């Protein structure tokens, strides 16, 4: 039912994309933890070095099911309404997966230079463990 999105809470691009996803999903399917929250990540066996390879998506019901980098971005898109269709088309186009992976790597490796860095780590309104139905009643 829920997926944990691990993102760079200091990256302007990453934070902007998380905010867009928060607005679309309202905490129904996804909750979020910044990769700077080492204590929470340690509970899942995720190291700071793991985070350097890009965003991570974890299935909360089966934590061994994980996606990272461009695969995580694709899985998030696939889980959104109508997203599965777009991801299927993207994956069937020759060379697109390879190009998407290389593009993701370049953005990941240059994100602070290209998009800037937050002065403080962004913490989502839908943190890990948040029950969206309860928080909307408050």
pLDDT digits (tens, 9 = 90+) for 26-65: 999 999 999 999 999 999 999 999 999 999 999 999 999 9
* Per-domain residue ranges of the chain: 3-128
pTM (2 d.p.): 0.88
The gap between the terminal CA atoms of the chain, to the nearest Å, is 22
45: left (phi over 0), alpha (psi -120 to 50) or beta: left
Segment (H or E) for 66? strand 66-68
What does the radius of gyration of the chain's CA atoms come to, in whole angstroms?
15
Percent of the chain with pLDDT strictly greater than 90 = 83
d(CA 45, CA 32): 16
- As a whole number of angstroms, the distance between CA 59 and CA 90 comes to 23
For 119-138, the pLDDT digits (tens) are: 999 999 999 876 655 444 43
Half-sphere exposure of 115 (CA within 13 A, CB side): 17
CA distance 91 to 113: 29
């Amino acid at each position: 039912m829920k997926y944990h999105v691990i993102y760079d809470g200091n990256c302007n691009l990453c934070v902007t994309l998380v905010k867009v996803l928060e607005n679309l999903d309202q905490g129904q399917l996804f909750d979020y933890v910044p990769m700077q929250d080492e204590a929470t990540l340690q509970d899942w066996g995720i190291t700071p070095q793991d985070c350097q390879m890009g965003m991570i998506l974890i299935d909360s019901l089966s934590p061994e099911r994980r996606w990272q980098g461009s695969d995580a971005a694709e899985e998030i898109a696939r889980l959104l309404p109508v997203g599965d269709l777009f991801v299927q088309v993207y994956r069937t186009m020759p060379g697109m997966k390879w190009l998407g992976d290389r593009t993701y790597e370049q953005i990941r490796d240059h994100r602070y230079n290209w998009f800037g860095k937050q002065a403080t780590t962004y913490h989502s309104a839908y943190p890990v463990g948040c029950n969206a139905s309860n928080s909307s009643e408050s």
